[in-house]
Amino acid sequence: MDPTGGSPEAGAVRPGGPEAGTDEVDRIVAAWRRVAPELDVEPLEVLSRVARLAHHLDRLRRSAFAAHELETWEFDVLAALRRAGEPHELSPGQLVVQTLVTSGTMTNRVDRLARRGLVQRRPAPDDGRSVLVRLTDAGAAVVDAALADLVRAEHRMLAVLPAAERRALAALLRRVAAPFEAPPGT
């Protein structure tokens, strides 16, 4: 419900909306403060916005990837291989760590990408029992094109902030995320 007592559709532009400094999270927080004044709901002011932004970002990314006939998980695997640098290959275990999935899930994903000709498996030179997953030329072309579209869309998404504010926001989010991103074994 908005401050005027109406009930506009979520996301609709209205007086007192984002351009005036309020948003749906402000209304949600105000409602919680009204019905549960004993609770300190301050974290909602940040984390509800992060969650809502993550939803919008997910839709933006899915759209950018779909234009290249990729699912988000396919982009994640191809991007990990591309970032590895020449010869654009990693072990399945390295892919598991970078994409935060199980080894069984990664096996399935590599199988599916290999059937599409976007990756190939080859025996590891130092261990004949192990394999490496290598990005093919077709895989590199599709991930590069998808990344270019994604970055353009993400620039548009962040265009409401000047460069200095984007850098400050990145630094703050890094601090909040750091405890969850610690390397394994630390």
Distance of alpha carbon 148 from the chain centroid: 15
> The domain 72-144 is classified under which CATH number: 1.10.167.10, 2.60.40.10, 1.10.10.10, 3.50.50.60?
1.10.10.10
Determine the pLDDT at residue 20: 56
Per the DSSP assignment, residues forming a β-bridge with 131 are: 123
Determine the pLDDT at residue 182: 67
Q: Is the pTM of this model over 0.85?
A: no
Q: pLDDT digits over 86-145, tens only? A: 999 999 999 999 998 999 999 999 999 999 999 999 998 887 788 999 999 999 999 999
Q: What is the location of CATH 1.10.10.10 in the chain?
A: 72-144
Distance CA 48, CA 25 (A): 7
State what percent of residues in the chain have pLDDT above 70.
Answer: 87
Q: pLDDT digits over 19-73, tens only? A: 557 899 999 999 999 999 999 999 999 999 999 999 999 999 999 999 999 999 9
Closest CA to 131 of 139, 140, 121, 141: 121
Edge-to-edge strands, sheet with 127-135: 89-90, 127-135, 119-124
